[in-house]
């Protein structure tokens, strides 16, 4: 009995430590310097911390200690006020692979995986640690239709339900 509980607990730990969905692969030849700066959130799978937010953006810059400063901002359409969240990100492995982890709550990190990016770093598709988290980002509030089609196809092939995406308004 104790052995089976231990095996179950170890299994749960492995699952909870998974930082990228099973069928996903982060981009290689990732260049952090090109990724830094402002991104507009075009679409996302909604979750607790972004619920009711529009005009959402993320700004990435370098911290002195080599981690990435993450500043997320959005307008809460219910409260009619701006909200900000500051966090940090770091690579999980090699710094030329788009596998990072991000934290907004102290020592707790979650997967942040750049799985597709256009050569000019104009558009990016980011997966979280599970099929519950996904973002489509752009350097401007607009997304090219061809990129949208490509990103949605990739997300679906990994197992994401893209019909559940929230398409973000950028009107403020």
Residue 155 has pLDDT above 60, yes or no: yes
* CATH code assigned at 159: 2.40.128.20
Q: Say if 87 falls within a structural domain.
A: yes
pTM attached to this predicted model: 0.88
CA distance 66 to 143: 31
Token representation of residue 89: 């990100």
> What band does 107 get if pLDDT is binned at 50, 70 and 90?
confident
Q: Say if 9 falls within a structural domain.
A: no
CA distance 128 to 110: 7
Summarised one tens digit per residue, pLDDT across range 118-148 is: 999 999 999 999 999 999 999 999 999 999 9
Which of 1-5, 23-27, 45-49, 146-150 bottoms out in mean pLDDT, i.e. has the lowest? 1-5
**What are the C-alpha distances in Å from 65 to residues 28, 68, 88, 118?**
24, 9, 11, 28
Q: Say if 111 falls within a structural domain.
A: yes
Q: Say if 132 falls within a structural domain.
A: yes
Average pLDDT, the chain: 90
Average pLDDT over residues 66-80: 96
74 lies in which domain range? 20-167
Total domains in the chain come to 1
**What are the C-alpha distances in Å from 85 to residues 29, 102, 133?**
29, 12, 17
Residue 172 has pLDDT above 90, yes or no: no
For residue 33, the 8-state DSSP code is: H
């Amino acid at each position: 009995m104790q052995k089976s509980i231990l095996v179950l607990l170890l299994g749960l730990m492995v699952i909870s430590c998974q930082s990228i969905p099973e069928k996903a692969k982060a981009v290689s030849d990732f260049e952090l310097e090109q990724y830094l700066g402002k991104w507009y959130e075009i679409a996302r799978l909604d979750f607790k911390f972004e619920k009711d937010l529009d005009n959402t953006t993320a700004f990435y810059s370098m911290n002195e200690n080599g981690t990435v400063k993450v500043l997320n901002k959005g307008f809460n359409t219910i409260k009619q006020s701006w909200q900000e969240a500051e966090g940090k990100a770091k690579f999980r492995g090699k710094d030329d692979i788009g596998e990072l982890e991000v934290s907004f709550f102290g020592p707790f990190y979650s997967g942040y995986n750049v799985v597709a990016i256009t050569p000019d770093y104009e558009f990016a598709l980011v997966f979280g640690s599970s099929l519950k988290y996904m973002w489509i980002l752009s350097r401007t509030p607009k997304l090219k239709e061809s990129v949208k089609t490509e990103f949605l196809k990739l997300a679906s092939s990994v197992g994401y339900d893209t019909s559940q995406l929230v398409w973000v308004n950028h009107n403020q």
